[in-house]
């Protein structure tokens, strides 16, 4: 199948994670993604550890299959050349604070004069408008402002930073891709592009639909560690095994709970977990703690219970299921060396069948500014 974004050119002014991840997804679906970077040392992510080739492994993973323009955006002559490239582009992706691109002469109002069909996507933490629009922040601040972090309580009751960058990817990258695709479809029909205001905080709120329902329908604020999906139910908790591993118990529906109760041989008076949830949870914990993880992995696999053993990242990458799905079959290459590529959420039929691709070396596509073809 022809890649759906083949022929689409994206000029990507973004750095670090939200924009680059969005650009990676578009590139994997066939778009030509050209990173705009400072000429001295490129974007900051290139400097991060661990190292891979002449860059950082993080940069290589997030920028697989892209190209690079090394430009001084404060140089008038450079901006003039870049404008000529914009005429033949379809998407601009940027991640500066509001107003920065306009001061460079590359704001949406400037760009649409030369390319009315351009889809101009701005990713920020708080959006283009509002009291916090120019506030500096990172993922932890965004999930803190939107109530999500308050629901992530550790053993001492204090919020625990999640290991995944929820706002950056779930509130920034993925909504950006969705809205870019919607806008491209609209531009095909009308010939008119649009300015997309992607605010990570706005989009994190959708992750907490159940918390909003609790506030609106019950008139109370959800309590950390006490709600259905935050550890308040014996059916949805993490239990320690005999060998200090962990079992993820998610037997929410009654049929799964009944199957789990049978598997654990839970006493009859504790199976109705609405009577005394903590007593039920304590007995489940006792039983799970009596056997090692290998025992429970095999037992869970043999029953329909929605339970599993928690895997670390290395175990996940070696998991036969994910291997069978081909999730880790693609590589980022640099000469004789390679890294496992990030498994982006693009189905196989929309991706290039080639499994290996490089990352952009700084300025490797600068000849495009002079009208040349990228080599």
Q: Is residue 300 located within the same domain as residue 341?
A: no
The Cα 62–Cα 16 span in angstroms is 9
**CB of 85 within 8 A of CB of 73?**
no
Single residue among 278, 309, 340 that ends a domain in this structure: 309
| Domain contains 341 | yes
| Domain contains 4 | no
Sign of CA dihedral 34, 35, 40, 46: negative
First and final CA of the chain: distance in angstroms?
25
Q: Is residue 25 located within the same domain as residue 173?
A: yes
| Domain contains 314 | no
Residues facing 246 on adjacent strands: 240
SS3 300: helix
**CB of 150 within 8 A of CB of 141?**
no
Q: Is residue 144 located within the same domain as residue 77?
A: yes
Domain that holds residue 22: 9-205+326-370
Match 């629009």 to its residue by tokens: 133
Q: Burial-class residue 220 by CB neighbours within 10 Å (0-12, 13-18, 19+).
A: exposed
Q: Is residue 253 located within the same domain as residue 171?
A: no
Q: Is residue 13 located within the same domain as residue 113?
A: yes
pLDDT digits (tens, 9 = 90+) for 111-151: 999 999 999 999 999 999 999 999 999 999 999 999 999 99
Q: Is residue 171 located within the same domain as residue 197?
A: yes
pTM across the whole model: 0.94
Q: Is residue 128 located within the same domain as residue 274?
A: no
Q: Is residue 94 located within the same domain as residue 187?
A: yes
| Domain contains 280 | yes
Q: Is residue 13 located within the same domain as residue 115?
A: yes
**CB of 105 within 8 A of CB of 24?**
no
In degrees rounded to 5, what are phi and psi of residue 344? -75, 155
In degrees rounded to 5, what are phi and psi of residue 40? -70, -60
Q: Is residue 267 located within the same domain as residue 197?
A: no
What is the chain's pLDDT, residue by residue, as a tens digit (375 residues)? 789 999 999 999 999 999 999 999 999 999 999 999 999 999 999 999 999 999 999 999 999 999 999 999 999 999 999 999 999 999 999 999 999 999 999 999 999 999 999 999 999 999 999 999 999 999 999 999 999 999 988 778 899 999 999 999 999 999 999 999 999 999 999 999 999 999 999 999 999 999 999 999 999 999 988 899 998 999 999 999 999 999 999 999 999 999 999 999 999 999 999 999 999 999 999 999 999 999 999 999 999 999 999 999 999 999 999 999 999 999 999 988 999 999 999 999 999 888 899 999 999 999 998 875 543
Q: Is residue 100 located within the same domain as residue 186?
A: yes
| Domain contains 3 | no
Nearest-CA neighbor of 38 among 78, 87, 98? 78
The Cα 218–Cα 221 span in angstroms is 9
Q: Give the helix ranges, DSSP H, for 8-155.
A: 18-28, 57-62, 76-87, 100-103, 108-114, 139-145
**CB of 234 within 8 A of CB of 280?**
yes
The Cα 185–Cα 238 span in angstroms is 44
| Domain contains 64 | yes
Q: Is residue 188 located within the same domain as residue 262?
A: no
- CATH number, domain with residue 108: 3.40.50.10540
| Domain contains 176 | yes
Quick one: angle between helices 174-190 and 18-28, nearest 10?
A: 60
**CB of 9 within 8 A of CB of 91?**
yes
Residues with a known catalytic role: 138, 168
How many structural domains compose the chain? 2
| Domain contains 225 | no
């Amino acid at each position: 199948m022809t890649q759906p974004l083949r022929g689409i050119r994206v000029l990507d002014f973004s750095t670090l994670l939200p924009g680059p991840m969005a650009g990676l997804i578009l590139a994997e679906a066939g778009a030509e993604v050209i990173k705009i970077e400072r000429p001295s040392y490129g974007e900051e992510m290139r400097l991060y550890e661990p190292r891979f080739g002449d860059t950082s492994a993080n940069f290589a993973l997030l920028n697989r299959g892209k190209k690079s323009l090394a430009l001084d955006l404060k140089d008038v002559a450079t901006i003039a050349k870049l404008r000529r490239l914009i005429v033949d582009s379809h998407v601009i992706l940027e991640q500066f604070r509001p107003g920065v691109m306009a001061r460079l002469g590359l704001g949406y109002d400037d760009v649409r004069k030369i390319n009315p069909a351009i889809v101009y996507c701005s990713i920020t933490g708080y959006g283009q408008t509002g009291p916090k629009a120019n506030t500096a922040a990172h993922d932890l601040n965004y999930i803190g402002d939107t109530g999500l972090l308050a629901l992530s309580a550790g053993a001492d009751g204090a919020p625990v930073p999640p290991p995944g960058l929820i706002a950056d990817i779930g509130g920034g990258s993925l909504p950006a891709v969705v809205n870019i695709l919607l806008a491209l479809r609209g531009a095909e029909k009308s010939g008119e592009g649009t300015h997309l205001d992607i605010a990570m905080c706005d989009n994190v709120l959708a992750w907490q639909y159940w918390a909003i329902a609790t506030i609106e329908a019950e008139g109370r604020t959800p309590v950390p560690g006490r709600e259905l999906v935050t550890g308040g139910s014996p059916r949805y908790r993490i239990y320690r095994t005999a060998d200090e591993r962990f079992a993820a118990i998610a037997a929410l529906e009654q049929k799964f709970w009944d199957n789990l109760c049978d598997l654990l041989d839970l006493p009859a008076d504790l199976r109705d977990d609405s009577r005394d949830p903590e007593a039920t949870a304590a007995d489940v914990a006792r039983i799970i703690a009596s056997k090692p993880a290998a025992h429970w992995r095999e037992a869970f696999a043999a029953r329909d219970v929605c339970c599993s053993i928690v895997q670390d990242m290395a175990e996940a990458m070696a998991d036969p299921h994910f291997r069978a799905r081909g999730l880790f079959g693609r590589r980022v290459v640099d000469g004789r060396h390679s890294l496992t590529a990030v498994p982006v959420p693009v189905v196989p039929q929309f991706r290039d069948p080639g499994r290996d691709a490089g990352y952009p070396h700084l300025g490797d596509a600068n000849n495009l500014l002079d009208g040349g073809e990228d080599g």
